[in-house]
Structure 1
């Protein structure tokens, strides 16, 4: 039950981070801090890991 609650909280923080991402430079700090909060609740979240990077839209080459 606690894991499900953690996932729900992580999703809320991910939504905040995604909204901040749309703000561009002004939302950069909010995006990164919200993504870090999401990672605290769900460390395996690929979306939170992507949003916590300095430039989430840039894809790394393999």
Structure 2
């Protein structure tokens, strides 16, 4: 959950209690695809999930992709 909360903070969201982050981010699917990041878009919402093999560098890569 720590990485998910790091991602939430980077998006300006409050902390949560899940390793899954679901939020509206315009063009997130295209931004992630361009950087080779795998995540889902369901019902128009980005759904990113963090696992034991995810790292803080992965979180920063995702945030950088969304900021580009």
Normalised by the size of structure 1, how large is the TM-score?
0.29
Higher relative contact order (CA 8 A, sep 6+): 2
Give the structure with the larger strand fraction: 2
Greater Rg, structure 1 or structure 2? 1
* Structure with the higher helix share, 1 or 2: 1
